[in-house]
Structure 1
Amino acid sequence: MKKAIAIVSLTAAFAAASHSGAVTLTFACDSVGSGYDECQKGANAWAKQTGNTVKLLQVPKETDQRLALYQQQLGAKSGDVDVYMIDVVWPGLIGQHLLDLKKYIPQADVSRHFPAIVQNNTIGGKLVGMPFFTDAGVLYYRTDLLKKYGYTAAPKTWNELATMAQKIQAGERKTNPKFVGYVFQGKNYEGLTCDALEWISSFGGGSIVDPSGKITVNNDKAVAALRTIQGLVGTISPSAVTTYGEEEARNVWQAGNSAFMRNWPYAYAAGQEEGSAVKGKIGVAALPAGPGGKPAATLGGWQLAVNAYSKNPKEAASLVQYMTSLQEQKRRAIEASYNPTIATLYKDPAVLKAVPFFGSLYDVFTNAVARPATVTGSKYNQVSDAFSTAVYNVLTKKTAPGPALKTLEGQLSRIKGRGW
C-alpha cells in the first residue's frame, strides 16, 4: 500500500510541475544500443503524466562528436534543446551553460544517488546534472565456448585472455572464418581513452595525470601495458579493431563472432534479445589485470542536464527529475541493463534477476577509475585527444609504446603550461 501511495504522489508531483498550457521540450538523449528507444519510453511516460510533449533528437553515437555539437549550440546560447544527456567528464567543460538543478529538484531526490557522482556534477556550487546511469568497463565472454575448450572461469590476467582467446579462435575458425578472439574499442576517440586507461591502470601505470595535476603517463608499466595490447591486434583481435567503437565491437560479438569483448553494461541486455547469436551464452567479469596489478574499469556514465537558455526550465527540470527517479532507473535496469546511480537498486531482487552481474560486480562499478577530467578542467578534451591519438598510433604500429608515451608527455606538458 505504501508503495502505491508513493507512486501516486510522484505522479501528482510531476503533473503539478506542468503549466496549465502544455509545452514541447526537445531532448538530446542517447543513440547507443537501445538508448534512443529507452529514452523515448521514459519521455513518453513523463509526457503522459504531465500533458506536455517531448521531441527526441537523434544524436551522434561518438561522444566526441556529440560534445562538439553541444558546445556549438550552447556557445551560441541557443535554447533549441531543453535537456541534454551529458558524459560524466563534461560538467567542467560545459557547466557554465547549464541550469542549477538544486533550485528545481528536492534534496531528498538528489541524495538517493551515489554521492561521488553528485559531487562530480556540482560545479562552483551548482548542480549542473542529475545522475542518470553509471558505467564501468567490463569483460564479456562466451560461457559455452569456455566450457567447450576446457576453461572453468574467465581470464584473470591479460596473458590468460590472450592464451584462451588464441585457443578458442583457432578452434572456431575451422567452421567460422570470421571468428576472432577479442574485440574492444580501438578507434581514435574517447572510447579508446577509456579502454587504454584500463590497460595502463591494470598494470599499475597510473591514470595519465594524477589528482595533483602531475603528468604520470610516461612510465615503464604504462609502456608494458601498451606493448601487451599492441600484440593483441592482428593476432586475437582483428586489425580492423582500430576502427571499432562500442557498437562495432558489439555487432561482432552479438553475431557470435568473438570469444571475448570489452564493453559497457548496456551490451548485456542487447545480447540477450531475440535473434542474438549469443543469447543465453553471455558471461560478464571484471577486466583482466596486468602482472602484479589489479583489474581496472574506467568510470563512465551519463547525467541529465537542463540548458540554461531553455525557455521552459521548470518543465525541463521536471523531465530530468522523472527520468532520473528510482522507478525509471529500475525500469531501465531491468529492461536494458543500464547501471542505476541509486545504491538501493543494486539489492533489488527484480533488478538482480534481470541483470545478475550487477550484484557480483558491484565493487567494480563503485570503485571505477576516473578519467583526469576534474584536475584538467577545460583542457580535458585536449588531454584525452592527445592520449587517444598516442595510443592509436601504438595500436596501428605507427609508433612504439616507449617513444609514443615520451612524445605524449611533452604534449601534455605544453597543454598544462597553458593552464589546467
Structure 2
Amino acid sequence: MNNLKDIISRREAISTAAKIGIGVAIAAVAAGAGLYAWSALQPTQKKIRVVAIAHSAPGMKAVAEEDFKIKYPNIEVELLLFDWETGRDRQLHDFATRAGEYDVYMWDCIYTGAFGPHCYPIDDLRSQYPDAEIFKEYGDFLETIDRRYMHWDGKRIGYVITANVMAMFYRRDLWEDPAIKDMYSKWIDRNLSDLQSMAPDLGLDPKKIPTSLVVPKTLEDVFAIGRFFTKRYNPNSPVEAGNTIMAMRTHTIHWEYCWLFAQWRRSPEGISKLGQPVEPWGDLFTQDGRIAFDPDITDMGIKVTRLFKELCNYVPNATQTEWSECMELLGRGRAAMWAGSWASTFIDFIEKAKENYPETAGKIWVSPAPGVPIDGTWQIGVSRYSKNPREAWLFTQFLVLPDSAVKQWNVASSFPGRKSVIETLAPRYPGIFKEVFLDSLLKAGFRNYVPENPMLEDSIAKWITEYVAGNVDEVTATTELTKEWKSILKLSY
C-alpha cells in the first residue's frame, strides 16, 4: 500500500512507548577482573530485522514495542515497514543472494510457494532451539489457511498473523435513504433493458439485474448499482464513484480478477466445465491443472476481462487508482461502495472513522463481498539465512500468542487466524466478526500460490492494465496472458 507511514501514524492506537534501556552507574572504580565477571553474566544483546508489510505492520509494531521488548529485553526488534511491491522485491533479492538481510520474512499468501524453500521448517527450529518454543497450539489455527499457507512441501514453515478476507464496505446511509431508493427505481426502469443486453458479454446473468436498491450480494448487483451511483451514468447520483476498484499495475490485479472470475468458476456450470479448484492452483486453474481462463477452454475469461474494465468505469481514473485512492474515495464520501475491499479496512472505515474519515463517520457499514470472496492472508517465517534464527523464532511465535493477536486486531484490524482468538473477539462485534469475516474466510475462493507466482502476478497485472488502458483488446489481453502463463509454468497441453 502507498503512504504506509501516513497510515501508521494516523492510527493513535499504535504505541510510541519509549525505548527501555538498562543503565548501570558505577560510582566507584571497579577492579578489572570484577568488571569482566559482571559483564560476562549479562545476557547477550541480539538484533533481528523483521519485514512488516501493509496493514499488518501497525499491529506488529505495537506488539514489538509494548510487549515483546519487555519480555525479551535482550532482543532488539527492527521493524522494516514496506509496501508489498517493495517488500516482495527486497525479500526475493535476499533469496537470490542468501545474504541474511532479514531474519523474519513476511509474505502474501499467494507467495507461499516462492517463500517456502527459504524459510526454516518449524520442526528444524524446534529441534535446534527447544528452549525457545513458546507456542504449541497449532490445532487452533483455521484448517484451510493452516494447510495452504503455513506449510510448503509437507513442512510447516511459518505462522498466519493476518487472516485477511474480502469484504464490502458501503455507504449504508445512501442505501437507507427513501429518496435514493425511489431514484434507483426510476433509473432502473429506464436502463434495465440496456443493462440486461450488456450482461451476457460481461459474464453476468441478465435475469439477476436488481430492480430495487439492495445491498449487493452478486456481481450483477455491483454492475447495476455501481452504474447507478456513478455520475457519468447517472448525473443525479449523490456521489462521484459508484464503486472503487484498482487498476494500477500492481499485485491487486491478480486478486481482483480472481474475485470476478470465481463467481462463475464456482457455479454449477463452472464446476461442470472446469472441475473443482485444487491446491495449490486455486480458482484460476482447472482441476487437471490447465489455465481456467484460457480462451480455448472457455470464453468466460474474456468476459471477465471485459467486466473488469466495465467496473473501472465507475472510478475517476482507474489506472491511477491503488489502495490509498480507494480508501480516500470511500472514506471522504466520494464513492458509494468498495465491493472488493478487505476486512483489514474495518478499523479505518468503522471503528476509528471519527479520527480517520470524519466525513463519513457512522455512515459506512460492512457486508460480505458480492459473489465469491477471496482469501488474502499474511504470513511470517524465519529466514533460512538469518543470523539469529532462535531470536527470530521467538518473535514469530510471540506474534500469534492470544494477547498479541488481540492487540493486532485492536490496532490494525488484523483478523486472527486462531479459532480461540476469534471466539474471544466475536462478542464485541455481533453480526460482523463471525457472520461476515469468518464465514467469508471459510467459504473463500483462493488464488494459485505456486513458486512461479511472482512472475504470474506480474504477468496478469501487465495484460489486464494494458487492456484497461486501451492498448489492446480483451481477446488479445486474455489470449496473450494465457500464453505467458503457459510459458512461465512450462505447460504443454
**TM > 0.5:** yes
Structure 2 partner of 1:271: 349
- Structure 1 position 86, deviation (Å): 1.5
Shift of 1:194: 0.3
* Conserved? CA contact 1:337–1:355, under 8 Å: no
In structure 2, do the counterparts of structure 1 residues 116 and 76 end up closer, same or farther at CA, with 3 Å as the change threshold? same
Following superposition, the deviation at residue 247 of structure 1 comes to 2.2
Identify which of 181, 187, 191 aligns with 2:248: 187
1:410 CA displacement: 2.0
Contact 1:91-1:128 at 8 Å conserved across structures = no
SS at match of 1:304: strand
TM-score, normalization by structure 1: 0.83
Residue 256 in structure 1 maps to residue 333 in structure 2 = yes
Offset of 1:89 from its aligned partner? 1.9
Q: Which of 300, 312, 327 in structure 1 is aligned with 2:403? A: 327
Distance in 2 of aligned mates of 1:175 and 1:153: 16
Of the structure 1 ranges 267-276 and 163-172, higher mean CA displacement relative to structure 2 is found in 163-172
Q: Supply the AA of the counterpart residue of 2:105.
A: Y
The equivalent position to 2:392 in structure 1, one of 313, 316, 332, is 316
Mean Cα displacement is larger for which, 353-362 or 37-46? 353-362
Task: Establish whether residue 213 from structure 1 lines up as the match of residue 289 from structure 2.
Answer: yes
Give 2:116's aligned residue: 95
User: What's 1:57 paired with?
Assistant: 80
Residue 184 (structure 1) shift: 1.6
1:359 corresponds to: 434
Distance 1:321 1:114 in 2: 16
Matched, 1:284 2:366: yes
1:66 aligns with 2:74: no
Cα offset for 1:318? 0.7
Q: Do the aligned residues in 2 keep the contact of 1:28 with 1:58 (CA within 8 Å)?
A: yes
Give the residue type in structure 1 aligned to 2:141. H
**Hey, what does 1:387 align to over in structure 2?**
460
Whole-Å Cα distance in 2 between the matches of residues 393 and 232 of structure 1? 15
Report the 3-state secondary structure (helix = DSSP H, G, I; strand = E; otherwise coil) of the residue aligned with 1:180: coil
- Matched residue pairs, number? 385
Q: Which of 300, 303, 326 lines up with 1:224 in the alignment?
A: 303
State the match for 1:25 in structure 2.
Answer: 48
Shift of 1:100: 1.6
Structure 1 counterpart of 2:119, which letter? L
Relative to structure 2, which stretch is displaced further, 136-145 or 268-277? 268-277
| Cα offset, 1:142, TM superposition | 0.6
Distance 1:217 1:305, change over 3 A: same
Whole-Å separation in 2 of the counterparts to 1:397 and 1:75 = 36
Closer/same/farther in 2, CA of residues 125 and 201 from structure 1, 3 Å limit: closer
For structure 2, list consecutive stretches of 5 or more residues without a partner in the other structure.
1-41, 127-132, 182-211, 275-282
Shift of 1:133: 1.2
* Pairing 1:9-158 to 2, within 5 Å after superposition: 20-30=43-53, 32-33=54-55, 35-44=56-65, 45-51=67-73, 52-59=75-82, 61=83, 63-102=84-123, 103-104=125-126, 105=133, 108-120=136-148, 121-148=150-177, 149-150=180-181, 153-158=214-219
- State the alpha-carbon separation in 2 of the partners of residues 130 and 118 from structure 1: 8
TM-score normalized with structure 2 length: 0.72
Larger Rg: 2
Percent identity, aligned pairs only, is 17
Are 1:162 and 2:162 an aligned pair? no
Tell me, in whole angstroms, the C-alpha distance in 2 between the residues paired with 1:337 and 1:80: 29
Gaps of 5+ in 1: 1-18, 289-294
Other structure's SS at 2:311 match: coil
Distance 1:116 1:160, change over 3 A: closer
Could you tell me how far apart the structure 1 residues matched to 2:234 and 2:72 are?
A: 54
What is aligned with 1:16? none
Q: Quote the Cα distance in structure 1 between the aligned partners of 2:155 and 2:430.
A: 34
Over the aligned positions, Cα root-mean-square deviation in angstroms equals: 2.6
Q: 1 CA distance for matches of 2:140 and 2:405?
A: 12
Task: Rate the CA distance shift 1:172–1:265 in 2: closer, same or farther, 3 A.
Answer: farther
Aligned partners of 2:90 and 2:400: how far apart in 1? 24
Q: Deviations over 1:256-287 (max 9, x none)?
A: 21101122111110123233122222222223
Alignment map for 1:376-415 (pairs within 5 Å): 377-415=450-488
Q: Which moved more, 1:65-74 or 1:397-406?
A: 397-406
